A and B are shown apart, each in its own frame.
Chain A
Amino acid sequence: MRSTLKRGDKVIIFLLVVFAAFFAFEKYALSNNKISSVIIRSDGEIIKNIPITNNGEYIIKSKEGELTCIIKDQKVEVVESTCPDKLCMKQGWISKQGESIICLPNRISITIVGGNKAIDSTTY
């Protein structure tokens, strides 16, 4: 064995292994990213990016008003809002990637991204 492997061969094998590992990691990172995050935008700008496993109550402010959302058991819900129509509160829990809660009067959006089970967008 020893005599058949030259230094150049070893370098090539080493590089192949490095690239294979790199490709495998890339694929792994792409497909097995199991933890979703909750992206919160206020007036169109991302102001919070919270892993969905971070249970808690979050107060989100915008120029127009504010709302309180709860993250619990990998679900998100708006429980309080200063908006007049309260549509964001009526929307209830969301839990899947691609789902969002939108508060138009407050210009706040809460979207779940990442994770395994994916929808691209929601029609309403």
Chain B
Amino acid sequence: MNRKTIFALLVIIVLFTFGFLLIRDRINSQYLTTEIYSMDTLIEINISGADKKQATDKVVQEINFLNQKFDDFSSQSDVTKINENAGKEPVKVDPVTIDIISKAIECYKISDGAFDILVAPLSKLWGFKSNDNSYRIPSQKEIEQALKLIDINDLIVEGDKVMLKKIGEAIDLGGIAKGYTLDRIKEILPKYNLKNAIINMGGNILTYGKSNNGNWLIGIKNPRGDGIVGTININGSKFISTSGDYERYFIENGIRYCHIIDPSTGYPSDKIISVTVESDKGYLGDALSTAFFVLGKENSLELANKLNVEIVGFDKNLNPFFTEGIKNEVNIEKGR
């Protein structure tokens, strides 16, 4: 073989190697998209990279495991057992249940009670806990009665046991479980060879790694109209949660009553219509979006700055408000 032939062969080998790598990269960088229904919502899992199949299987398994523990519609869950034994006896639960309840109590404290997992009796009273949409406006007396059952000090965690002190008290993890699950998923993903991932659990989003276009572009649902009201640029791995009055609500005599109840008044909160939180912890973002919705604009901005999370919200006139750190990353659509 002369030099030229060797050179030609080398060029061919290099080209084919590049071609092969390119095709493999292309196949790996395509999302494996899986949709499952769990935690009373739709969960959309998009994972790319060489191990996307194995990672997706593990993520689905984790979601189903946590749902089994937290689902208050299932008779076998830890939450149901705690609620059924309220005022009776302590219940032995899984370590994850202890962990999420401890985090929920932490969120209660930092939000000064605006996020409260004991709000369940009130949600039930307004008809937001049943699947048949039996919404109604309770009487003032009923609300006062239910308010007596909302006292976080009655939630006792000791070792691996949990107890609610009074009969009728109940916990509902609906405002923290999805964010908490995303935290667990974020711990699972680095164990696999992945390019990136984006997981949406009923509006709570985990971005993992860099998006195929550099930054992630997350749409914010328009609280009063079609499609999205704007977008947020997200750099790298973050959690995004939103609470609004447009998901579950009813309107009576022209007044909108939404599913987020202010634990201090017993009435649906109506200070703002939507708030989105960007945070580094899923459980925190999930719980805080509810808390901010209850607190309203000024108190939310103050608390968000104190806790170092970014928020973008909309007041009743659909005017946006932001924390400084997110202002330049948010793009509100014109002509909405």
Contacts and interface: CB of A to CB of B under 8 A. Distances in A.
Interface of A: 6, 8, 11-12, 15-16, 19, 22-23, 26, 41, 43-44, 84-85, 87, 90-96, 98-99, 102, 104-105, 107, 109, 118-124
B76 interface: no
Interface centre among A23, A98, A123 (most CB of B within 10 A): A123
A45 to B, nearest CB: 8
Interface of B: 4-5, 8, 11-12, 15, 18-19, 22, 26, 34-37, 40-42, 44, 46, 131-133, 198, 200, 202-205, 207, 211, 213, 216-221, 225-228, 231, 240-242, 244, 246-248, 276
Nearest to A102: B42
10 contacts: A19-B15, A84-B131, A85-B133, A95-B227, A102-B42, A109-B44, A119-B217, A119-B228, A122-B203, A122-B228
A6 B4 contact: yes
B35 A121 contact: no
Contacts of B207: 120
Given A84-B132, A120-B211, A121-B205, 12 more contacts: A19-B15, A87-B247, A87-B248, A90-B246, A92-B225, A94-B227, A95-B226, A118-B217, A119-B219, A121-B218, A123-B241, A123-B242
Nearest to A99: B227
B200 A121 contact: yes
B41 to A, nearest CB: 7
Given A15-B11, A26-B22, A26-B26, A123 B34 contact: no
B225 A96 contact: no
Contacts of B205: 121, 123
B5 A94 contact: no
Contacts of B246: 90
Given A8-B5, A15-B11, A44-B36, A120 B227 contact: no
A85 B127 CA distance: 13
A39 to B, nearest CB: 9
